Every structure is written in C-alpha cells, then in structure tokens.
A and B are shown apart, each in its own frame.
Chain A
Amino acid sequence: MITVIARKELGVLFGSPLAWVILALAQLVFAWFYLAHLESFLQVQPQLIRIANPPGATEAIAAPLFSIGAVVLLMITPLLTARLIAEERRNHTLPFLISAPVSMTEIVLGKFLGLMIFLSIIIALIIALSISLLAGGSLDFGLLLSNIAGLWLLSACFVALGLYISCLSMQPAIAGAAALCILFGLWIMDNAEGGENSITRSLSLSAHFENFNRGMIDTFDLAYFALFIFFFLALSIRWLKLYR
C-alpha cells in the first residue's frame, strides 16, 4: 500500500511541469558549479602536486558539489512537500485516501517515500557528475559514499519536516514558505554562537551534514538524522489520526 501511494505521488508530480522544471534547473546549477570548480582545480593542480598529500578531485570538486546540493535541496524540498497534504485538503481529495482501507501510517510513509524517490533522482544527478571525474583521474569512493549518505539523510529530514508543516496548513503556499523558513533557520542556526558543543550547533542541520561532507560518518550524526525524521513523521501520522 505504501508503494501504491508513493507511485501515485510520483504520478501526480510528474504530471505537472513543476517536477521537470525543478530537475532541469537543479541540473543547470549543479553543472555550472561543477564546471567552475573543475576549472579552478585544473588551474591550481600544477602547484598542488608540489605539496605532500594534496587534496584530490573528490575533495576539491565532488565534496563542494554535494554541499551546494544540500543548499539547493533545502530550497526546493519545501516547494515539493508543500502540496503533499495541504493540496489534498484543498482539493478535497483526502477522503479518497482516508476512506480507502489503508492506515494513516501507510498514507504518511507512502507520501514520504514518493518524494524521497524524486529527491533521489536529483541526488543521482550529483552522483553522476561526480562519477564523470573518473574520465580524467581517480576518485575517493569512501568520501563520495559518505557524501551520498549524508545528502540522502539530509533530504529525508527536509521531507519529514515539510510533510508535517504541510499537514498544518490548507494553503500549499503558506506550508511551503513556513517549511522553508524553519529549514533555513535550522540550517544557519549553528552560526549563532561559537563553541564546538553549543546547543545551537547540536540542533543545526548543517553542522551534522558537515561531518558527512568531510567524509566522517559519526553515530551521533546518524542518530540526530534518524530522530529528526522519525519525530516529524510521527507528528504527521498523529495529526492525520486526530484530523478525523
């Protein structure tokens, strides 16, 4: 049942121009950024060879690409999550799902999965760009995998929060704007004060993604992402149950 709902979400998403426009624009941004970094890397490469243990192409091109990918996903996920529940309520299609023999958990997980599949396509674009570096050299696959895992978990956090915000409003535009503001707040909040272990840093999304971006998979970061996703999905399920 979860996959049926996920497939429906994808069907509706690809039925509108929004999905295609987002895919095209995201790819444009990534390609631009990739080429710019590739060019500057090639320029400094002769000097890099002289230092011991120089940064490779993965560190100089792929990792920055993933961190810009995180920012791009931060901006586009609210656009996509906004419609998940809010639009069903506005178009009066929610009874279609609720009166079917499916549980609220299945509805929420189906919607979550559907959007995650879409975001995985965007992440796949970034991976494909990074892999293309193999044409002119070797790659640090450990660092690449850690970046992929980090970005994927991060986008799952974005979707979980966006999905819950979408429950709260009947206007997709408000849900989108609110989700964007909250996500952006969580993203920049580690700048608020210094200190490695300050509370703002512990709660910030970007601080936890940074470790993945550097190639470090920490159980603390994994736990943070897992809790974040679980918390907002549980809130969405609870909201749907009480909505009746």
Chain B
Amino acid sequence: MSAKTEQKTLSAHGLSRHFGARIAVNQVSLELRQGEVLGLLGPNGAGKTTIMRLLTGNLAPTAGRVEICGMDLQKKTREAKACIGYLPEIPPLYRELTIDEYLRLAARLRRLARSKTDDAIRKAVERCGLDNVRQRLIGSLSKGYQQRAGIAQAIIHDPAVIILDEPTAGLDPNQMRDVRSLLRELGAVRSMIFSTHALSEVESVCDRVQIINHGRQVFEGSVDMMEQEGTRLEEIFTQSTMEKIET
C-alpha cells in the first residue's frame, strides 16, 4: 500500500513554451505522487495557466516532456489524456445543453463505458452539489453552479490526475468553502494540481506548494514543513515574487 501511494502520477521535465520572442514558461519541472495535492501559486501573468495547458496537452511545449501515469503525453497522447481531468480558467461549458446532457457528453468523450455512465454522472453531480439543477440549461445557471459544473466534467471519469485552474475564482464565501471541502475530498484519493490566489486555500488544502514567477519556478516546499518551521506562506510569496521584479 505504501509503495502504491508513492507512485508518480505526473512528471514534467524542463518544460518551456515560447510565444514568439516572449518566454511564457521557462524550464519548469513538476512532479506529483498519488494522493498528493500541489498548489501552484504566482502573480497574474506568471505562467500558471500556460503550465496547466502544457500539462493537459492543450498547448505543445517548445521544449520538455510531460509524462502522465508513466505515459508520454506527446507519444501516447490518447492514453495519457484519458488519465487527466482538466478545468480551464474559464469553464468550458456549452450553454445550450443541460447539466445532464453536458456530463453525459463529457463521459462519452472520455471513453467511459456506457454501463458506467449513469453511475458516474450521479456521483459527480452529488459531489459537486448539482442535484437540483440537473435538468437546467447551463446558460441559465449562476456563476457558482457553472464553476461546479466545470469541476464535475473534470472528475466524471475519475481521472488519476486532476488539474484545476483557479477553481474558486469568482465564488461567494459559502461556495468557496464548499468547493474547498470538495477539493480536500478529491485530493485525499487522487493527485491534484490547482492554481489559486488565495494563500489560505493552499495552506488548508495542499500538501506541497510551487511558486511561479515570470515563467520560472522560484519556490518549492511542503506545507507541513513550513508549518513546523513557522514560516508563513505569505512572506515567502512576497519575497520570492518581489525579488524577481527588482533584479
């Protein structure tokens, strides 16, 4: 059992992406073990979203490699992508579909067996608190429900790696608390990477933190260690992201 929890589910080495002359991501490496939650922090425009798009195959890296559950994302694209659940910064929702139709589509696209689809939808709906809006059109739902629908499509096929780009952005405090407890629940059994601007969220949900600035990794550490040493995440964040601007 302990060997299993040590298993690597995601690893990225020397990941870079250039947009013309601009270097959005520069030699970033990531590693994620089963049952581990990694918080990706950084100021706006630091490259967090680009890293997540690289990890999910939405963007081709200029250099570097991504491996998901031991499969190369460039070579075994289909198999690797089947192990990822991804929520982009803006939830990819079809306004014309109902929650039920949308989740069914997500399940089909992720090649879930027909016999398991109903069960998977029921579970995802339950987890994300979408029970009473299943038959509503997505376009008519509030921002909070739409965000949760986005999370539901990311977890419907029970992926080994869950990648969420700012899952709590734009939610009210109650919804934020709900989503956070959902993240904790998911993080206990699956590997997860998520980005956020709320430092308290990282401290309460994550096992490990990586801070990105100007496309480079400027800090990495475990949350438990920081707690033991008594260092505050906010200090580290300010230090590591301010210094870069000065130099």
On A, residues with C-beta under 8 Å from B are 1, 4-5, 8, 11-12, 15-16, 91-103, 244
Closest Cβ–Cβ distance, residue A12 to chain B (whole Å):
5
Determine if A15 and B90 form an interchain contact, defined as CB atoms under 8 angstroms apart: no
Tell whether B79 is near chain A: CB-to-CB under 8 Å.
yes
Determine if B110 and A92 form an interchain contact, defined as CB atoms under 8 angstroms apart: no
Option from A4, A5, A93, A100 in Cβ contact (under 8 Å) with B93: A93
Contact with A along B82-122 (1 / 0, CB 8 A): 10101010111111110001000110111100000000000
Closest Cβ–Cβ distance, residue B120 to chain A (whole Å):
14
Option from B91, B94, B110 in Cβ contact (under 8 Å) with A101: B110
In the complex, which residues of chain B have a beta carbon less than 8 angstroms from the beta carbon of A8? 94, 105
Determine if A95 and B56 form an interchain contact, defined as CB atoms under 8 angstroms apart: yes
**With A8-B105, A101-B111, A244-B59 as given contacts, are A95 and B97 in contact (CB-CB < 8 Å)?**
no
> From A8, which residue of chain B is reached at the shortest CB distance?
B105
Option from A1, A5, A16 in Cβ contact (under 8 Å) with B96: A16
Contact with A along B214-225 (1 / 0, CB 8 A): 000000000000
Closest Cβ–Cβ distance, residue A97 to chain B (whole Å):
7
A-B contacts, 11 of them at CB < 8 A, read A4-B105, A8-B94, A11-B97, A11-B101, A12-B97, A91-B94, A91-B95, A98-B57, A99-B56, A100-B81, A102-B78
Tell whether B238 is near chain A: CB-to-CB under 8 Å.
no
CA distance A98 to B78 in the complex (A): 10
> From A107, which residue of chain B is reached at the shortest CB distance?
B109
Determine if A96 and B92 form an interchain contact, defined as CB atoms under 8 angstroms apart: yes
Tell whether B153 is near chain A: CB-to-CB under 8 Å.
yes
Closest Cβ–Cβ distance, residue A87 to chain B (whole Å):
10
Tell whether B58 is near chain A: CB-to-CB under 8 Å.
yes
Determine if A93 and B78 form an interchain contact, defined as CB atoms under 8 angstroms apart: no
Option from B88, B97, B110 in Cβ contact (under 8 Å) with A100: B110
CA distance A206 to B106 in the complex (A): 41
CA distance A102 to B109 in the complex (A): 7
**With A12-B97, A92-B92, A103-B78 as given contacts, are A97 and B109 in contact (CB-CB < 8 Å)?**
yes
Most chain B beta-carbon neighbours within 10 Å: one of A16, A92, A94 = A92
Closest Cβ–Cβ distance, residue A81 to chain B (whole Å):
17
Determine if B86 and A95 form an interchain contact, defined as CB atoms under 8 angstroms apart: yes
> From B90, which residue of chain A is reached at the shortest CB distance?
A92
**With A244-B59, A244-B60 as given contacts, are A101 and B81 in contact (CB-CB < 8 Å)?**
yes
